[in-house]
Amino acid sequence: MSINEADFKDLYETLANLQTAEDCKALLEDLCTYKEVEQMAQRLAAAKYLMAGKTYEEVIQKTEISSATLSRVSKCVKYGKGYKKVLGTEK
């Protein structure tokens, strides 16, 4: 089975329609492995630290994120929209 754009849209709409953190937790526990959720939380924490002015070394120490993943998070913080929107810094 191949995933199409409608499947992605369904996922995005489902996430957007969640009302509580508990609902989100329940869905993510069903959709993802513990490790996948942990990695998403790690990336969000890293983005927060970067946006607060922490150095790569400080972020790695606090989150134990790999330098390759941190580089990707950093690019998304600088050029993307998602982290800025969810962390309240979008203008």
Give yes or no: residues 48 and 83 share one domain: yes
Tokens for 52, please give them: 């607060």
Question: Tens digit of pLDDT for each residue in 5-19?
Answer: 999 999 999 999 999
DSSP the chain: ----HHHHHHHHHHHHT--SHHHHHHHHHHHS-HHHHHHHHHHHHHHHHHHTT--HHHHHHHH---HHHHHHHHHHHHH-SHHHHHTT---
Give yes or no: residues 21 and 51 share one domain: no
Q: What's the pLDDT at 88?
A: 80
Please give the tally of structural domains in the chain.
2
Residue 91 in this model has a pLDDT that exceeds 60: no
Residue 89 in this model has a pLDDT that exceeds 80: no
Question: Tens digit of pLDDT for each residue in 24-79?
Answer: 999 999 999 999 999 999 999 999 999 999 999 999 999 999 999 999 999 999 99
Give yes or no: residues 26 and 46 share one domain: no
